[in-house]
Amino acid sequence: MTLLIPTIAGTRAALGADREAGRTVGFVPTMGYLHEGHASLIRRARAECDAVLVSIFVNPLQFGANEDLAAYPRDLEADLALCKREGVDVVFHPDVEEMYGGRARFCIDVGEIGDRLCGASRPGHFNGVATVVAKLWNIAGPCRSYFGEKDLQQLVVLRRLAASFDVPVEVIGCRIVREPDGLAMSSRNVYLSAEERTAALVLKRALDQAAASGERAGARLAAMMRETISSEPLARLDYAVCVDTETLEDAGHVTDRAALAVAAWFGKARLIDNMTVTA
């Protein structure tokens, strides 16, 4: 049975029996509009933990003033059907008042690492992500928490968040789930026209070509990807970089912890993708 719970207290109470029985909790925080990428996180949590919690909350703190908060796709009914299908125990679905109502509040400031990559065009985004996830982890209690590797910068920031504050959570990154033609799954893919949908394949193509090139100098890999993406008329390049996956600083050369990461606009959809490369 999947419980839908709108309150913090109710969510804690619903997990209380599991806690007391020493059962492990797997937690998948989401903004809803669930797709196969989310399903893969839920399935892994289901396989590895006794109880599974999914949160569905479109977090206003992580949207900029000119971003798509109001238009962000929502479909609670379909989300619940997916959660039931995948054996989720508790769906925490608060409103904004439940999460941020009341008095003045503090936020997490992730500093410089939040200004890189996606942060450069989304100022404050990662402060908002870190703040809501810090809250969600406290609501969920000790848990294993699952995130997709597509949101590489988010994963790096949240690993650092957990370490910075000794949060009793194990942060688990899960492989990118792709459409059959290679496009990384994203709730924002719904914004794409048919032409943009085709054009968006250039992201994966840029990553593949760079990774297969044999090139190991970060700057040259980045240049190759920029050239590939810029050759697609419907793509407006945001960034294409080779970075260290702990610091997100430019990697001079490919190391054991380097990744290629790209972002571009296709119409009103800003899409991202990435791929680890090995030395």
d(CA 107, CA 114): 13
Which lies closer to its own copies via its Cβ, residue 113 or residue 201?
113
Asked if residue 208 lies in contact with residue 73, where contact means CB atoms within 8 angstroms, the answer is: no
Stretch that binds its own copies, among 68-76, 78-86, 165-173, 206-214 (CB under 8 A): 165-173
Stretch that binds its own copies, among 146-154, 166-174, 217-225, 264-272 (CB under 8 A): 166-174
**108 lines the binding site for its own copies (CB under 8 A):** yes
Residues of 237-252 as b/e, b for ≥16 C-beta within 10 angstroms? Answer: bbbbbbbbbeebeebe
d(CA 72, CA 209): 32
- Residue 233 one-letter amino acid: P
Would you give the DSSP letter of residue 185? Answer: P
d(CA 53, CA 11): 9
**268 lines the binding site for its own copies (CB under 8 A):** no
Strand-by-strand arrangement of the 236-244 sheet: 236-244, 258-266, 269-277
CB of 102 to its own copies, least distance (A): 7
Place of tokens 């690492």: 113
**251 lines the binding site for its own copies (CB under 8 A):** no
Which lies closer to its own copies via its Cβ, residue 137 or residue 146?
137
**List 168, 175, 195, 231, residue binding its own copies (CB under 8 A):** 168
**167 lines the binding site for its own copies (CB under 8 A):** yes
Stretch that binds its own copies, among 61-69, 103-111, 191-199, 268-276 (CB under 8 A): 103-111
Tell me which residues in 16-45 interact with its own copies (CB under 8 A): 20, 22
**List 1, 70, 71, 104, residue binding its own copies (CB under 8 A):** 104
For 171, residues 6+ apart whose C-beta sits below 8 A from its C-beta are 145, 147, 155, 158, 159, 162
**List 23, 84, 85, 105, residue binding its own copies (CB under 8 A):** 105
Phi, psi of 143 (to 5 degrees): -165, 170
Which lies closer to its own copies via its Cβ, residue 134 or residue 221?
134
> Which secondary structure element, helix H or strand E, spans residue 44, and what is its range?
helix 36-48
How big is the site for its own copies, counted in residues (CB under 8 A)?
33
**List 24, 121, 138, 276, residue binding its own copies (CB under 8 A):** 138
Residue 35 known to be catalytic: no
Encoded tokens for 272: 């991202």
Stretch that binds its own copies, among 43-51, 54-62, 110-118, 235-243 (CB under 8 A): 110-118
Asked if residue 244 lies in contact with residue 255, where contact means CB atoms within 8 angstroms, the answer is: yes
**139 lines the binding site for its own copies (CB under 8 A):** yes
Measured at the CA of 49, the angle between CA 48 and CA 53, to 5 degrees, comes to 125
Q: Which of 38, 93, 125, 253 is catalytic?
A: 38
Residues that bind its own copies (CB under 8 A): 8, 12, 20, 22, 102-111, 113, 130-131, 134-135, 138-139, 141-142, 160-161, 163-168, 246-247
Positions marked active-site = 38
